[in-house]
Amino acid sequence: MIQKNLILHRPENKPIVWDAFFNTNGEQKPLVVFCHGYKGFKDWGSWDLVAEAFKNANLFFVKFNFSHNGGTVENPIDFPDLEAFAENNYTKELSDLDAILNHLLSINNPYKSEIDTHNITLIGHSRGGGISIIKASEDSRITKLITWASVSDFGKRTATIGDLNQWKKDGVKYILNGRTKQQMPHNYQFYEDFLANKDRLNIEASTKSIKIPHLIIHGKDDPSVLFNEAENLNAWNSKNTLFAIENANHVFNSKHPWSENEMPDALNLVVKKSIDYIK
């Protein structure tokens, strides 16, 4: 079964749009929750093909849009709501991830009978990797962690979004989206939220505290998040496993839109390695 664009309504927060890919066979399956990255969304590129591969391996695969990623319920692809994007921050994303997990494991989820609630894997790509690491360090329900091309330091990335004094003065800073040509706004609250939650948002400290298995997958030719960030993550916890993908970029040679019926070879290897790790 493939359920697209399900809506998790939340009375005091923006709704979360999510997809579920699973076989309706009455078996309780390991739950896999995928977190997209910065300027990402659940329907980016070949993520549907990724989801189908996990479904075919008899896993319950969920991908979702962070509530302030710039998508809407009506249009979850790309970034029609830049006002929401401007108000996004790391703690909102951690709250969103907690909300989707709570829903999936609650009696209100009509598919709960298909989920093994004691076998939960987080997969995070890029910035979503950092979010997944922090969540895994905080939430004892998570039993495995897999990061794809993950960042290793929110602090350096947050503080380098232009000149901090000018950002504070203007209240907003813009980053060009090379694909859509949109000027993506970041309100200064993003930096203020980081400072207020600096200890919690320390990926190194979170990585060191994790006691569950953590598979780190990273492309050797990643120009956006350099391979040394994967090496950092691996060095911070002796139980971690690092798997390098040769000749692979930040999205493992995929792109958006993706019109092929198969994943690129590098991404296919990432998916196979991840499924094997879960099973």
Q: What is the pLDDT of residues 26-66, one digit of tens each?
A: 899 999 999 999 999 999 999 999 999 999 999 999 999 99
**pLDDT-based confidence at residue 191 (cuts at 50, 70, 90):** very high
Give percent of the chain above pLDDT 70: 99
**pLDDT-based confidence at residue 159 (cuts at 50, 70, 90):** confident
Residue 161: the pLDDT is 60
Residue 160: the pLDDT is 66
**Could you tell me which residue, 166 or 124, shows the higher pLDDT?**
124
Sign of CA dihedral 153, 157, 160, 164: negative
- Beta-carbon contacts of residue 59 (< 8 Å; ≥ 6 apart): 22, 29, 30, 31, 32, 275, 278
The single-letter code of the amino acid at 113 is S
Residue 26: the pLDDT is 87
**pLDDT-based confidence at residue 109 (cuts at 50, 70, 90):** very high
Residue 162: the pLDDT is 63
CA–chain centroid gap for 10, Å, is: 20
Could you tell me the fold of the domain covering 2-152+199-278?
Answer: Rossmann fold (3.40.50)
Mean pLDDT of the chain: 97
User: Across residues 162-170, what is the average pLDDT?
Assistant: 88
Nearest to 32 by CA among 126, 146, 152: 146
Nearest to 127 by CA among 163, 88, 173, 98: 88
Residue 100 has pLDDT above 70, yes or no: yes
